[in-house]
Structure 1
């Protein structure tokens, strides 16, 4: 107990070490110490060794927040993404982080839970840090969000969609085209009584665009969608399993079902296994995203594979190179699989 006040005092002391104190301990000017700690500009190997020895001895922690706010050209890149439970977005961040780190930029992120109002608040909070760029999913934002982005003077990269007008740069693929190609594949295989299982299409606007493209292609071919089951909330394996059960209870004569993504499709696959429904002879299943789990199921999932990691890489490359406004179409790949 006697040691607690001393420990607390030590913690306060460690947290209050300043750049000036490091400079004094190293016998160097503050500007030299700052260059060493940022690893920018000119300094000698001997100066670096003296600075790092002083940093270690004093327990100095650089105030990155103060340095970021003080500079309009910060090296932060803000990602405002809908979800972390959906593997799409961790893959996007994984692709971007390697490029950013190699170019001495730092990714920070916030999660909107597909809520446009929350996205607007988070964009405002991120812009207060004066990041180099803001990266967002899709084109559907509140008007307040769009106004902030346009007025910010920051680079803006909208990813994972090309069906819309970008604020600045867009990197991704057409979700409507992915929906159309999925429908064309099922029709080519001879399926005619087709249903749909999905999650909240108003919140997940990219899933909504795929659904619209899919339905339009079926209509054009003369075989409109027979039935659909839209479950509230985010996509999940459980939601996909429940959704297919509900859909087949109403429309037992379906011969194929298109799912909003692979999470949902894997849930549908599990439902078929549990109920003894033969895939694809009794019911075909088609997903979207090309997740790893879909490749290792007993019957590999028929799906669209999207370039999520590459999307992150390209977005980061355009940011660090200060590229001009543009739209980059990375396309997608149809995986025939064994479920359709």
Structure 2
């Protein structure tokens, strides 16, 4: 004979509370007193009870399913954000489905369709969706849509990020103040990188200086591109005194190739990165980089979704987490 599956009533009886209290805890753990929550958790574990999430979603009109769309995770600057975001959202009782859209977002529309068909509560996007049709389609659905790692003027719903153009301009000002005069940009072919490069160029040329030279690479960026970019410096009419790399991975590869060629960094050639990955501080010389607080992006996303779940209105559409230039040995 097949044993009966544990029921909500079994959990309630074992925890010494009502079924309504168990249900409230399962739907929103934060509304139950800590001691009560511990008893219910223990009862759930002891009985092996599994709530019917489909039934709960119908009753509350919330699926507690969140789609997080990210271009890639291999050697990605988004990893810290995604890890913190998934941890925080999961602690709130949500299930997060992470999907890879590809470096050129070629799978973006397919992943959005899959998320909408599963009636997710929210879609979290990495970067800014440029296609206007896709933006309008997302606006037509009654779900939260949060664009991260960018600050579009007119968000689909809410944007949590920073200005890439401002980050590029700040790096230009930083290098100019340090006395560098011949910058060379290594620019991955993405909208985010292009905004930073444009911000750099605008700020740099505002001083009356000559426009920086540039070298474009594919996305996602990786170590080997730094080597290729260093070899390409020989084709320039004038050797730069600083190379501004679109990622820390590129900066690392360029520094390794420069050192192998007997070019000292930063004495003969300065180098900067972007993302402030762990390798930036582990590298020798350490890499000057731009730090983005990925954990704060995650925290702000979770805060917004909590307020939405509580029925709050008037939530801000732009949350600027800013950025910081981290000066190190390479520049």
TM-score, normalised relative to structure 1: 0.81
Q: Which runs of 5+ in 2 are unaligned?
A: none
Secondary structure of the equivalent of 1:257?
strand
> Is residue 2:211 matched to residue 1:225?
yes
Change (3 A) 1:319 1:188: same
Query: More deviation in 244-253 or 223-232?
Result: 244-253
Provide the residue aligned with 2:251 in structure 1. 265
How far did 1:238 drift?
Answer: 1.1
* 1:135 aligned residue (124, 128, 145): 124
In structure 2, what is the equivalent of residue 8 of structure 1?
A: none
SS, match of residue 107 in structure 2: helix
Tell me the matched-pair count: 316
**RMSD over aligned Cα, in angstroms?**
3.3
Residues 241-300 of structure 1, C-alpha deviations (whole Å, 9 max, x = no match): 212221334345211111111111111111111111111121111111111111122222
Q: Which residue is equivalent to 1:39?
A: 26
Contact in 2 for aligned 1:71/1:130 (Cα 8 Å): no
Tell me whether 1:177 sits opposite 2:163 in the alignment.
no
Tell me, in whole angstroms, the C-alpha distance in 2 between the residues paired with 1:304 and 1:50: 48
Given the superposition, is the C-alpha separation of residues 37 and 182 from structure 1 closer, same or farther in structure 2, using an over 3 Å criterion?
Answer: same
User: Where does 1:63-212 land on structure 2 (aligned, <5 Å)?
Assistant: 64=53, 72-200=61-189, 204-212=190-198
Shift of 1:153: 0.5
Write the distance in 2 (CA, Å) between the matches of 1:328 and 1:279: 37
Q: C-alpha separation between the residues in 2 aligned to 1:62 and 1:117?
A: 36
CA drift at 1:319: 1.0
Q: Does 1:247 align with 2:238?
A: no
Q: Deviations over 1:98-134 (max 9, x none)?
A: 3213322222111111334421111111112222211
The aligned counterpart of 1:7 is: none
Question: Distance in 2 between the 1:325 and 1:181 partners?
Answer: 26
Which is higher, the Rg of structure 1 or of structure 2?
1
- Preserved CA contact (<8 Å) 2:187 2:194: no
